[in-house]
Amino acid sequence: MIIGIIGSGAMGAGIAQVVATAGHTVRLLDQNAQALQRAGSAMQASLTRLAEKGKLTTEAAAATFARLHLTQDVTTFGDCELVLEAIVEDLAVKQQLFREVEMLVSDTCILASNTSSLSIASIAAACRKPERFIGIHFFNPAPIMQLVEVIPAVQTRAGLAEEVRDLVQSWGKLPVLTRDTPGFIVNRVARPFYGEAIRILEEGIADLATIDWAMTELGGFRMGPFALMDFIGHDVNYRVTESVFASFFYDPRFKPSFTQKRLFEAGYYGRKSGRGFYSYA
């Protein structure tokens, strides 16, 4: 199967590695040449590390990398059987992208979004054939995280969700089918997790290192809420919170915080910018 991935940032690059490792030819596109080069180098480095650890033969690593084709030209997507986007979390931009992609691909090509918080139905609505549209939501870092949410929209044709679930499973992942509701499963559960942790901080109940420590050492979480928000990036995480809040008709359970909004506005995105709740300088 030839798979096209659009957006070669944190998610697109990782997803490209997953599907190339599973044996698919991958066309990875980004409008930003540097992001594309970074993704290629990161994947090569990651495959080399796996080969050095003995988890992959050198030949398999080289063959996997050879299946990756970096491009800035969307007209090369004509032979793709699945196109998955992982671009900026903006409905209008994603809709416009699929209008263009649909002009190039065959009628049987599956179209998918990795959106964290937008409705799959609203992206599908921009398509000429919305019945072949579906959500395939990976978690960061995609090569490591096992869970993938598969989200049919109301327009998605019967049977496609199960086909996609089986395909994702063949990539060594653990897919779950979920309904097209804001945040799906994980990002919905995660909003109050982050929001309540920030409220505990704002109310002076404990400092952030103590809250993180309590959640990891005592609560059994792999990362505390503040370390996790810094890892995801406040640009991504804050936008998702705003989007889930609006999508639930401004239900106060999902209300964003000014503390995180200010980090977002200041460009203190977390690990990626060197500063967030913690400093990484």
Find the shortest distance in angstroms from Cβ 249 to ligand NAD: 21
Which residue, 132 or 137, is less far from ligand NAD as judged by CB? 137
Residues near ligand NAD (CB under 6 A): 6-12, 30-32, 35, 86-89, 93, 97, 114-116, 137-140, 232, 236
DSSP single-letter state for residue 279: B
Distance from C-alpha of 228 to C-alpha of 176, rounded to nearest angstrom: 22
* 146 class by beta-carbon count within 10 Å (0-12 exposed, 13-18 middle, 19+ buried): exposed
Alpha carbon distance 281, 273 (integer Å): 9
At its nearest, how many Å lie between ligand NAD and the CB of residue 29?
A: 6
Residue 215 CB, nearest distance to ligand NAD (Å)?
A: 18
Is there a catalytic annotation at residue 81? no
Provide CB contacts within 8 A for 267, sequence distance 6+: 273
Nearest approach, Cβ of 210 to ligand NAD (angstroms)?
A: 25
Which residue, 56 or 235, has its beta carbon nearer to ligand NAD?
A: 235
Nearest-approach distance from CB 209 to ligand NAD, in angstroms: 23
Question: How far from 219 is each of 100, 213, 253, CA to CA, in Å?
Answer: 47, 9, 22
**String of DSSP letters for 145-157:** --EEEEEE-TTSP
List, as one string, the DSSP characters of 52-84.
HTTSS-HHHHHHHHHTEEEES-GGGGGG-SEEE
116 is an active site residue:
yes
**Which residue's C-beta sits nearest to ligand NAD?**
9
89: left (phi over 0), alpha (psi -120 to 50) or beta: beta
| Residue the block writes with tokens 């995280």 | 145
- Catalytic: 187? yes
**Selected catalytic residue, list 8, 46, 116, 117:** 116
Q: Which is nearer to ligand NAD, 141 or 157 (CB)?
A: 141
Active-site residue flag, 137? yes
Q: What share of the chain is helix, strand, coil (3-state, %, to 5)?
A: 50, 15, 35
Strand 147-152 with 133-137, pairing: antiparallel
- Active-site residue numbers? 116, 137, 149, 187
